[in-house]
Structure 1
Amino acid sequence: MKFYAGKKSKPTRDLHGRTIAAQAGMDNQFYNAFDTERLSNWEATGDFRTPFQMDRDRVLHTPAFRRLQSKTQVFWSGEYDFYRTRLTHSLEVAQIGRSICHWLRADSDLLRPDYYIDPELVEVVCLSHDLGHPPFGHAGERSLNFLMKDYGGFEGNAQTLRLLTERIFSVKRAGMDPTRAFLDGVLKYKTLWSELRREGEAPENHFVYDKQAKYLDWAMGGNDFPVEYTPGKARDQFKSIECQVMDWADDTAYSLNDLADSVRAGFLSIHRIEQWAEETEEPCGEGTPLGDLIKAIRGNRVEPFAGKRIGKYIQSAHLQEDTNCMSATTNRYRYKLVVDEEICRESEVFKKLAFEVVFLSPELKQLEHKGNYMLERLWAVLKTRYIDGQNIGGQNFQILPKEDAEEIESMEDVNDRARLVCDFLAGMTDSSAARLYKRLFIPDFGSIGDLVG
């Protein structure tokens, strides 16, 4: 690993020489200059916000964050107003993540009033964790990964990293210059695409792009992974404490809030739950997790059921000290998040129920097929025109907006052109992707005033 130059930035100070953390009333000894250093080594002066507050504010005001309001969480966005989208899911994960931080500060003897996990850092990690996800949910992610199999693959978390470091401010085509602690917080996976590729088979998920090795290197401060952290699951389990909190907050929201959506949408009925419980030999009697869910459905109290359970999941998390290759460098690796076994088991039951009864249902699979079909056809046209540089029907059609087309065509390497085409598709919402598809392929749809993206 050679990207990290070893330079440690000074604590960020205002015009009066006070550290920003002290100025903001947050003299938090948990973090040091290594954690708050930015990719560019830029230091703010005269700003009343902490570095992590600046990270959060930058994310909130980006188009990439706003687009999450029209991207699928479980059910297609826009079908009904009450379904969760990627945006509302991210907001809920952020709230749960902040609450976990406050709970740990109250619960753990390892933390102090001046030494704690920053809830605003965890908040921006949670708000950002799905930024890179494409239209049409995980089905869209799998589709793009298949289409990009010869060009380095596609992964939602890797795409989030790409946005934060290189693409999030579209006008400048630049990243947002994140702090190291923030960047590392979204790094759920620390294995390169090529490290998982075996005998010509491209990996299905859980990787970062090969060209992102420099950011992984920088996040780790130039430290090599110990030999026991082999590529894949072993290395991916090596997460900062903020990433661990985000992960559990995400699991909590997925286990409970997405379950509530499924009940309201009619995919999870008492009959279906009991049938699934019988098939999987999961107990569903009184006092069991499934029994409590069935009782909540009967009483029309699914939302209160989920809300109460969220509080229980938050308080099931505890801190444990850890020693590893990074723990001497940053406190972010000195601790592990340990969740009560009973709650972990309950969460897995709810996730399995949602996956097998809802996500695998023909109703959702038909919609996933439709999203996959649209992405495949859009990709085929854009690949011919912009990746392969060929005319379509003997004509040089300009399909993409001028700025996007010029950037793609300026790239000499075919992999770089493919990545930019993939960026364009991944950045679209469900509705804008469907609209572009209809504009290109449905004869009586569209007008000269339609927007492409």
Structure 2
Amino acid sequence: MSGALPPEDDFRSPFQVDRDRVLHTTAFRRLQNKTQVFWSGEYDFYRTRLTHSLEVAQIGRSICGWLLASTDDFSPENTIDADLVEAVCLSHDLGHPPFGHAGERSLNHFMAPYGGFEGNAQTLRLLTERIFSQRRTGMDPSRAFVDGILKYKSGWGELKEVEGKEPANHFIYDEQSEYTGWTLGGRAFPGELEVGKVRDSFKSVECQVMDWADDTAYSLNDLADSVRAGFLNEEAIRRWAEKRGLESGPDSPLGDLIRAISRGRIDSFVGHRIGLYVKAARVQETENFLSGLSNRYRFRIVVDQATQAESEIFKQLAFEVVFLSTQLKQLEHKGSMMLRRLWELFHLRYVDQQPVDGQFFQLLPPEQVEEIESVETAGERARLVCDFLAGMTDGYAVRMYQRLFSPGFGSIGDIVG
């Protein structure tokens, strides 16, 4: 990976090239059929990973515009690059598997003997090594772009050693440490940036903008979907607020949400709040071991405390009332079960290299089989099988499961589909 500049006759900046390459990939298009909150394809109005990524990108650009307009020392020539932030925001969910967080937990469990699975680490793997599936290569991203998507910087093995157990999330794969070194210009992390949350807090300013844009979209737009789906209504919010000891009267964030629902104005509520969240961000100069070398580390994003607290309330509301609901947990269980059976079958055939039903027939597409058979270790084979599963859309995973395990599924029409 070189982070090569565009050709001399290319009128785009390197960050516009990063963005455009992402937009035209199969991995990006697949996000339209990957779960955000509710299973994709159930209803037309629910957000998918694709619409979420587009919304995060728009919010990220708006934050950049706001910071340019509101920061005295910023100018069009000296500001946070909105094209870079847009590229980072569009890419931030590329590595997430089918069936949302349930799919991510399942793959991490399956991959525990081989270095784990993490959606953000998988995004990094795609962009640097595998996003162009036909030739199994990365997109030669710019250094600043890679830095922007490196939300977590501790390796799986490092966290396992520190925590004494296999980490559940928030890590990169051990073999990806070269990318953190590359973004740091070959420098090592200083001792005070300990493995885990402390090191993860050391982010480029573009990554911080993406983080707040993601939080904004997650905490507000998911509320709108939950209201339309019938999971959130006035009474459910009041009950939850009372249980949590939170204010839900007229002059509170939850009271504003209740009023918006009662008036049928949830979209206006969300749109207004997004604007407030954008303007709640400001930049602050900071000092660290890279601040004198790069503007990416000279500034940090600071968000108004009241707005941040409100965002956390909305996220907690959605998590406890919607994500933990019986209906969604049943769907999560079903998705996890399908992934588990697919993993067990593919692991037997391709990682353990054992016959299935007494035969060595192929279960995966020829290009996947060829690549898996070209590597030597079980760990490499497992990672490639995991790549295949993680790249599935919800619909493709369901069809693959039905084709292999459902007795009533198997006509020529099913095979073609």
Match of 1:289 in 2: 253
Runs (5+) with no aligned partner, structure 2: none
**Distance apart, 1:172 and its partner CA:** 0.9
SS in 1 for 2:302: strand
- The AA in structure 1 aligned to 2:93 is D
Match of 2:155 in 1: 192
- The AA in structure 1 aligned to 2:283 is L
Identify which of 334, 344, 352 aligns with 1:388: 352
Identify which of 32, 42, 47 aligns with 1:84: 47
Between the aligned partners of 2:364 and 2:139, the Cα distance in structure 1 is 25
SS in 2 for 1:337: strand
Corresponding pairs, count? 416
Answer whether contact 1:91 1:127 (CA < 8 A) is retained.
Answer: yes
SS in 1 for 2:112: coil
Identify which of 122, 127, 136 aligns with 1:159: 122
Match of 1:120 in 2: 83
- The AA in structure 2 aligned to 1:94 is A
**Distance apart, 1:110 and its partner CA:** 2.6
- The AA in structure 2 aligned to 1:216 is T
**Distance apart, 1:452 and its partner CA:** 8.7
Between the aligned partners of 1:46 and 1:405, the Cα distance in structure 2 is 39
**Distance apart, 1:326 and its partner CA:** 1.2
Task: Report 1:33-432 matches (<5 A).
Answer: 39=2, 41=4, 44-198=7-161, 201-432=165-396
Deviations 1:243-301 (CA, angstroms, capped at 9, x unpaired)? 00000000000010011100110001111111100110010001100000000000000
Between the aligned partners of 2:295 and 2:306, the Cα distance in structure 1 is 28
Structure 1 residues 49 and 262, CA gap change in structure 2 (3 angstroms): same
Answer whether contact 2:108 2:117 (CA < 8 A) is retained.
Answer: yes
Answer whether contact 1:56 1:123 (CA < 8 A) is retained.
Answer: yes
Answer whether contact 2:37 2:222 (CA < 8 A) is retained.
Answer: yes
Match of 1:437 in 2: 401
**Distance apart, 1:448 and its partner CA:** 4.4
SS in 2 for 1:126: helix
- The AA in structure 1 aligned to 2:8 is T
Task: Report 1:6-21 matches (<5 A).
Answer: none
Between the aligned partners of 2:414 and 2:70, the Cα distance in structure 1 is 54
SS in 2 for 1:235: helix
Runs (5+) with no aligned partner, structure 1: 1-37
Answer whether contact 1:135 1:426 (CA < 8 A) is retained.
Answer: yes
**Distance apart, 1:40 and its partner CA:** 5.2
Answer whether contact 2:238 2:248 (CA < 8 A) is retained.
Answer: yes
Between the aligned partners of 1:316 and 1:200, the Cα distance in structure 2 is 39
Structure 1 residues 451 and 245, CA gap change in structure 2 (3 angstroms): farther
Name which of structure 1's ranges 393-402 and 110-119 shifts more when overlaid on structure 2. 110-119
Answer whether contact 2:53 2:91 (CA < 8 A) is retained.
Answer: yes
**Distance apart, 1:215 and its partner CA:** 1.1
Between the aligned partners of 1:452 and 1:244, the Cα distance in structure 2 is 44
Deviations 1:74-119 (CA, angstroms, capped at 9, x unpaired)? 0000000000000000000000000000000000113123211111
Q: Aligned Cα RMSD in Å?
A: 1.3
Answer whether contact 1:436 1:452 (CA < 8 A) is retained.
Answer: no
Match of 2:410 in 1: 446
Between the aligned partners of 2:289 and 2:415, the Cα distance in structure 1 is 50
**Runs of 4+ with deviation above 6 angstroms:** none
Between the aligned partners of 2:416 and 2:393, the Cα distance in structure 1 is 11
Answer whether contact 1:432 1:452 (CA < 8 A) is retained.
Answer: no
Answer whether contact 1:188 1:243 (CA < 8 A) is retained.
Answer: yes
TM superposition score normalised by structure 2: 0.98
Answer whether contact 2:35 2:98 (CA < 8 A) is retained.
Answer: yes
Deviations 1:120-171 (CA, angstroms, capped at 9, x unpaired)? 1100100000000000001100000001000100000000000000000001
Answer whether contact 1:94 1:124 (CA < 8 A) is retained.
Answer: yes
- The AA in structure 2 aligned to 1:402 is P
- The AA in structure 2 aligned to 1:170 is S
**Distance apart, 1:200 and its partner CA:** 6.2
TM superposition score normalised by structure 1: 0.90
| Identity within the alignment, % | 66
Answer whether contact 2:403 2:415 (CA < 8 A) is retained.
Answer: no
Structure 1 residues 399 and 122, CA gap change in structure 2 (3 angstroms): same
Between the aligned partners of 2:279 and 2:413, the Cα distance in structure 1 is 52
Answer whether contact 1:400 1:452 (CA < 8 A) is retained.
Answer: no
**Structure with greater helix percent:** 2
**Distance apart, 1:201 and its partner CA:** 2.3
